[in-house]
Structure formats: structure tokens, C-alpha cells
């Protein structure tokens, strides 16, 4: 029997190489051209779960991409940890901004990652973080250190809204029954500042279409006399925030959870440098809702952002034209208290109401989901906290994140258990951006920390 530190040290080359093989597969769920690669990633995950010691592994077919399920049940009387993660990745574009090809992983060191980081799409979100759990299982099974039951549920549609997983979870409540859900698909504050994510924002994602004249027109012959859908869309979008950067949709803030000044003061204790934040993004200043700090703006407050906007002529040179149609994709990040379906409906009504008579508008909802907050006094949180304390030498700071994993709220509803979000990525790891990477230090620390979670969780359950 080896302790986890020694085991990681002995096997780290292989742990890295295995992850690199998985990262070579372009499992882009959003793009159907990569269908076979997404399926291939699922097979790799299934094979690796078997090798790591699962007694039962299944590739569960769905209407979309399969869900990889694995389990090792050692004693029905012991607690069960359900691990969730995803093997799909975001599209890598814009490709020309990558320093090396997104699916040809390379290891390079950076200022934040002097030990080196693996650069590849999905390195941090979420293949690298998901794979830490596979390797932690390998350690526990080969060293007789698995103290409880474990189930794995790794999906391939997280980046496109987890549609198939919603049905799967609802239909398999018995099979997925567990005492706690463990997820590494978020981040931590810094290499030397461990943190546990205690909240995720909800999401409502919509697409809007503004239709003017029935065809593209000469901007001289018609300009000034007809509605230009791009002008109008821009105006409508601009009106969605007021001068204080509050969102103007009636009812939008109705049920927003308001934090007490004590809670806000507690949040403000987390180490944060506004100067470093601005510098890292090369911005003269930050920007956002009046009355809130940067960390509040990106975690406990709801937002509305245009993610893409298009229409008219965008090719080389100039073309004098008034487009017939203009489009935008808009995301709203939501906080506890806000119901994503209600918010989507409020947006639609408001957007239709503010459109001038001269245009038609269509609002198409895409996906969405509820926000999530996990308590810090649960056994699961305590176990995670002790685990980090052992490996980082510091008690982790609870921190609410601005990102979304919409399925987590459904886990609580359908499976009646809390999710513990043990993220090991950094905000600077560039998830969803060019040059995504994951620190080798973070990867190996994750593998070291996870078995301790199992140990403490099982111990705390006995008392």
C-alpha cells in the first residue's frame, strides 16, 4: 500500500500521457461534424473507468450523446459518492488565436504555472478535471483505499445544455441514488488559495431576430426612410441596461436573493486584487452594475450579455446596404430566486414590447437552468474542506462562482442530494477561449485531494 502522494509521484508521467490521449479527441458537442469524435471520447472514458476499477461500466445511449456510467459498490450499507463530469468540449474557434493546435496537446510553463500546463481544448473544462477522478479511483482501488461506494456519470452534452442527461437522471433515480455528488468542473482562487465553489449561476439563453424590409436594400435609395434592423436591434439592446447598468426588463429582479451586509462582508474577505484583475485583461477599468464590487457583479448578481450579433455586410471593403434582418444571441446569468423559464418569458414579452412598429421580432429561447447554492455546514462540504486542508495546508475559502452547470439544480431536485464543487482550475486557464490550459500542479493536486474527500466523507458519515 502506497500513500497517495507517493502513488501520484510514481505514476504522474502516465497520468499526464493518458489525459493527453483523451485531449487529442476533438469531442465538440456543438458541431455535428465531430459526432464520431464525441462518441470516441465516451469510449475512452468507459475503458479508463474499467481499468481504474469500476465493476460495471455502461455506455448508455440517449437521443443525443451517450452517458458513461460506471460503479464500484463495495457495501450497500456504506455511503455512495456520485461523480459527475463531462467529456464534451467547446468549439475551439477562433483557431488562429491558438499558439498551438487545440487538439494537439503540448506542455508549456507559464508565470502562473511554473511546473507546466497542458494546453488543449478541454484541458481544464472538463476532461482534465474529470480525469482526476478516474485516477483518484485508480489509486483507491489499487491500494485498497476505497472507503465507500462510488458511481460515475460522465456526459457528452454539458456544453450544449445537457438535454439528454435531464431525461436520463429523471428515468434512473434508483440507479443513480447516492449520498453526495462530487464535481470538479469549476475553479479555485489561486494556486496557494484553495477554495470550494458554493454557488453557480442559472442561465437563460435566447436568440433574437429583428426583421425590417423583406429584402436587403440600397442604403442610399432607401436609407432614412425605412427601419434598419441593425440600427434598431442595437438600440433595443442598449436599452436593456440603464445608466447604472441595472437591467431594465420589468420583473427581472423580482425574486433575486438579497445578501445581508454580513454575507457581503464575508465575501469581501476572499483575496482579490482589482489592479491585477484589470492588468490580466489589459483594461483601464472594470465596468458593471452600480453599487456592487467586481466579485459581487460576477457571482451574486444577475447579468445580461450579448454573446454574438450579426447581420448585413461584414465582408471585405464596403457595401452600401440596409439588411433585411439582424440577429443577436443573448445570455442572462441568474441567481438564486430567479426562475429561468419565468425570466425567459419576461425577456420575450419585453423585447417584443420595445420593438418599434416598423420591425417584426422573433425571440427563440435556447437552453437554460436554475442557479445553485450549496451549504457549508453539510458533511460533504466539511469533508472537502478537510481534504484541501491536508493537501494545500490551508482551509479552503467558500466562494460563489459566476459560471453555470445547469444540471446541478436538477440533481438536487431529482436525486435529492447536494453537490460538492471541488474545482481545481484557475480563471486564467482560459476555458472556452483560445489557449485553454490546465496546470500540472492543479491536475496532480486534484488527484491527491479527491481520495481524501472519500476518506473524510465516509468517516463523517459514521459519527
Q: Is residue 37 involved in binding Mn ion (CB under 5 A)?
A: no
Phi and psi torsions of 326, nearest 5°: -135, 150
Contacts to Mn ion from residues 90-129, by CB under 5 A: 125-126
Site for Mn ion in 231-260 (CB under 5 A): none
CB nearer to ligand BES: pick between 304 and 405: 405
- Span from 74-82, 110-118, 184-192, 218-226 in contact with Mn ion (CB under 5 A): 184-192
Burial class of 390 by CB neighbour count within 10 A (0 to 12, 13 to 18, 19+): middle
**395-399-405 Cα angle (round to 5):** 125
User: Residue 367: which of ligand BES, Mn ion, none does it interact with, CB under 5 to 8 A by kind?
Assistant: ligand BES
Q: Considering the complex, state which of residue 207 and residue 390 has its C-beta at the smaller distance from ligand BES.
A: 207
Which residue's Cβ lies closest to ligand BES? 403
Whether 197 and 424 have beta carbons less than 8 Å apart is answered as no
Distance CA 396, CA 138 (A): 25
Question: Which residue from 450, 410, 405, 396 is spatially nearest to 431, judged by alpha carbons?
Answer: 405
Q: How far is the CB of 242 from ligand BES (least distance, A)?
A: 25
Instruction: Provide the minimum distance between the beta carbon of 187 and ligand BES in the complex, in angstroms, as a whole number.
Output: 5
Chosen from Mn ion, ligand BES, none, partner binding at 164 (C-beta under 5 to 8 Å by type): none
Binding site for ligand BES (CB under 6 A): 125-126, 158-159, 161, 185-187, 200, 203, 367, 401, 403-406, 431
Q: How far is the CB of 403 from Mn ion (least distance, A)?
A: 8
Cβ-based nearer residue to ligand BES, 128 or 161: 161
**Residue 165 or 211 with smaller CB distance to ligand BES:** 165
Q: How far is the CB of 325 from ligand BES (least distance, A)?
A: 26
Residue with smaller CB distance to Mn ion, 157 or 185: 185
Binding residues (CB under 5 A) for Mn ion: these are 125-126, 185
Amino acid at each position: 500500500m502506497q500513500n497517495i502522494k507517493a502513488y501520484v509521484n510514481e505514476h504522474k508521467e502516465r497520468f499526464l500521457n493518458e489525459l493527453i490521449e483523451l485531449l487529442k479527441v476533438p469531442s465538440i458537442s456543438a458541431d455535428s461534424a465531430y459526432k464520431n469524435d464525441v462518441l470516441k471520447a465516451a469510449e475512452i472514458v468507459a475503458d479508463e473507468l474499467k481499468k481504474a476499477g469500476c465493476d460495471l461500466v455502461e455506455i448508455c445511449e440517449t437521443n443525443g450523446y451517450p452517458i458513461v456510467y460506471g460503479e464500484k459498490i463495495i457495501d450497500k450499507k456504506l455511503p455512495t459518492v456520485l461523480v459527475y463530469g463531462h467529456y464534451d468540449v467547446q468549439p475551439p474557434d477562433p483557431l488562429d488565436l491558438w499558439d498551438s493546435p487545440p487538439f494537439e496537446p503540448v506542455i508549456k510553463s507559464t508565470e502562473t504555472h511554473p511546473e507546466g500546463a497542458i494546453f488543449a481544448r478541454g484541458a481544464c473544462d472538463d476532461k482534465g478535471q474529470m480525469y482526476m477522478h478516474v485516477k483518484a479511483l485508480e489509486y483507491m482501488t489499487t491500494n485498497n483505499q476505497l472507503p465507500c461506494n462510488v458511481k460515475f456519470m460522465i456526459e457528452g452534452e454539458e456544453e450544449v445544455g445537457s438535454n439528454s442527461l435531464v431525461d436520463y437522471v429523471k428515468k434512473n433515480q434508483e440507479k443513480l441514488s447516492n449520498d453526495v455528488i462530487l464535481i470538479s468542473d469549476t475553479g479555485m482562487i489561486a494556486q496557494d488559495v484553495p477554495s470550494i465553489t458554493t454557488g453557480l449561476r442559472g442561465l437563460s439563453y435566447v436568440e433574437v431576430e429583428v426583421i425590417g424590409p423583406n429584402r436587403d436594400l440600397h442604403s442610399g435609395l432607401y436609407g432614412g426612410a425605412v427601419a434598419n434592423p441593425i440600427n434598431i436591434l442595437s438600440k433595443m439592446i442598449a436599452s436593456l441596461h440603464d445608466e447604472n447598468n441595472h437591467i431594465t426588463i420589468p420583473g427581472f429582479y423580482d425574486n433575486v436573493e438579497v445578501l445581508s451586509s454580513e454575507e457581503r462582508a464575508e465575501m469581501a474577505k476572499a483575496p482579490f486584487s482589482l489592479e491585477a484583475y484589470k492588468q490580466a485583461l489589459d483594461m483601464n477599468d472594470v465596468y458593471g452594475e452600480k453599487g456592487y464590487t467586481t466579485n459581487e457583479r460576477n457571482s451574486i448578481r444577475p447579468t445580461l450579455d450579448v454573446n454574438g450579433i450579426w447581420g448585413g455586410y461584414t465582408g471585405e471593403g464596403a457595401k452600401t446596404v440596409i439588411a433585411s434582418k439582424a440577429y443577436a444571441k443573448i445570455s442572462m446569468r441568474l441567481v438564486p430566486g430567479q426562475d429561468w423559464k419565468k425570466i425567459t418569458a419576461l425577456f420575450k414579452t419585453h423585447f417584443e414590447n420595445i420593438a418599434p412598429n416598423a420591425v417584426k421580432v422573433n425571440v427563440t429561447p435556447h437552453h437554460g437552468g436554475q442557479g445553485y447554492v450549496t451549504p457549508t455546514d453539510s458533511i460533504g462540504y466539511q469533508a472537502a474542506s478537510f481534504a484541501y486542508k491536508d493537501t494545500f495546508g490551508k482551509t479552503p475559502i467558500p466562494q460563489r462562482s459566476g459560471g453555470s452547470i445547469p444540471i446541478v439544480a436538477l440533481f438536487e431536485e431529482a436525486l435529492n442530494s447536494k453537490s460538492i464543487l471541488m474545482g481545481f482550475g484557475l480563471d486564467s486557464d482560459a476555458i472556452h477561449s483560445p489557449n485553454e490550459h490546465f496546470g500540472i500542479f492543479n491536475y496532480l493536486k486534484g488527484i491527491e485531494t479527491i481520495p481524501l474527500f472519500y476518506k473524510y466523507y465516509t468517516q463523517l458519515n459514521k459519527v
